[in-house]
Structure 1
């Protein structure tokens, strides 16, 4: 004999199902970011890196589901002995980064197109070193935002900032400051932020990194001038004191082949 289920049981099951779906959605509603940093010294190395990224790496990453890949270089690269190329990507799934090194090698086009870089001789490497920084998006902006800019890429200014905290607790306090008002100021003034990320693996932890973008240097300066008066009342609040021990600011321009 089949017993009919109590209506209350159906309600309970429905509630558990909806709760589980909501929980899964909540867990998925964030983004992980990777900032891959190439260190190099010579023009030859830079050209090899550029050809590899444009012809092999970006197409392979797109095929693996990484939609928007940003490639940008510090404006003052020419004046530095240690020159840099930043490669930015994002994914809602951290596991995609864990398996990336294995998955990308399954792409035959990648292996062929990137042969110059991938098979470089030990005494003629295309870079000095590579570092990788992994981040998790802030609650205040959990998804990547593409900049809305109209100028030529050669004129744009991308401002990459890293705020190092004295301790983990104070670094978390600075992130709270972003989530509870600072991001809103950036939005109000149209700083065209691409991401705000808490560093979960990197060389200068604890720290956060974010990227804002501007049409040109003049616009960048005007935006920061407008930012000060709106930010000052928040910066003076007692609960937000001494939460940044070092501010590293790098002004960059995107490459012609950058998605962002």
Structure 2
């Protein structure tokens, strides 16, 4: 009888220990890496811009939020004399690929969304609400797995949201550049210098692969310029670019300056 009781107590003790271990491991587990869609609407006319923005503001964004998709960025290019094409760009975070792939079907069952977006959704071929839509799909970096919303107090029209794309010559060299951000400490350096990064992502579907993309945010152009000066002058950056293993891992850079619309979440 005593042997049976002792065995029972041993089993209970082991169960408690296992539970504590599982709970501890759960707390220490890294958060799941999000996925991002960068969705760009390209327009030919002001009427197209007006129709699409009404749809985004009154139907699409509310529809996403009903599905639990939040922190959606909506941006326009900062005025540029050499690029006069009208665009609206969205950055949409998804918790999983399943959520991304199921989005259209779920929106199609939302009567409120369908009614609010009717002018856009039922537009005729003669009055298309945009010229084209471009889409890029990304997976968040391991060192920045969740989208961050910046805290900026300056007027939205003055803000500079800088979207960068770094292309590499081959897939292997591209992975080396991603490693430079994560293990190499480039993400940590941006954090230390308060670049207010929204996301860093590996492009898993896009027109310029292999490439990575990331977005940093600033109160204004002067703030942006001073932050980048601090970056290139930092001992961490000078140490990184001096490392032989990280040389020549970027073949092309695209930089796009944006500002948030009045209905953007950040």
TM-score of the two chains, using structure 2 as the length reference: 0.88
Question: Quick one: which of 173, 186, 189 aligns to 1:185?
Answer: 189
Question: Quick one: which of 32, 42, 45 aligns to 1:42?
Answer: 45
Q: 1:157 to 1:22 in 2, by over 3 A?
A: same
Per-residue CA shift, 1:207-242, capped at 9, x if unaligned? 111000000111111111111112222112101011
> What are the within-5 Å matches in structure 2 for residues 53-202 of structure 1?
53-76=56-79, 79-179=82-182, 180-202=184-206
2:257 — aligned with what? Answer: 251
Per-residue CA shift, 1:59-109, capped at 9, x if unaligned? 000001011110001113675353321111112222100101111111111
SS state at 2:187 partner: helix
Q: Distance in 1 between matches of 2:210 and 2:15?
A: 43
Question: Quick one: which of 214, 219, 223 aligns to 2:218?
Answer: 214
SS state at 2:40 partner: strand
Q: Distance in 1 between matches of 2:28 and 2:51?
A: 41
Q: 1:81 to 1:121 in 2, by over 3 A?
A: farther
> What are the within-5 Å matches in structure 2 for residues 7-22 of structure 1?
7=10, 11=14, 15=18, 22=25
2:240 — aligned with what? Answer: 234
Q: Which runs of 5+ in 1 are unaligned?
A: none
Q: Distance in 1 between matches of 2:42 and 2:218?
A: 25
Q: 1:28 to 1:225 in 2, by over 3 A?
A: closer
Moved more, 56-65 or 229-238: 229-238
Question: Quick one: which of 172, 184, 205 aligns to 2:209?
Answer: 205
Q: Distance in 1 between matches of 2:197 and 2:253?
A: 17
Q: Distance in 2 between matches of 1:128 and 1:15?
A: 58
Q: Distance in 2 between matches of 1:49 and 1:140?
A: 35
Cα pair 1:137 1:196 within 8 Å, conserved = yes
Q: Distance in 2 between matches of 1:204 and 1:83?
A: 21
Q: Distance in 1 between matches of 2:81 and 2:46?
A: 10
TM-score of the two chains, using structure 1 as the length reference: 0.90
Q: 1:19 to 1:201 in 2, by over 3 A?
A: farther
Moved more, 79-88 or 6-15: 6-15
Q: 1:78 to 1:40 in 2, by over 3 A?
A: farther
SS state at 1:66 partner: coil
Q: Distance in 1 between matches of 2:56 and 2:110?
A: 14
Per-residue CA shift, 1:37-56, capped at 9, x if unaligned? 11112111111111111111
Cα pair 2:31 2:145 within 8 Å, conserved = no
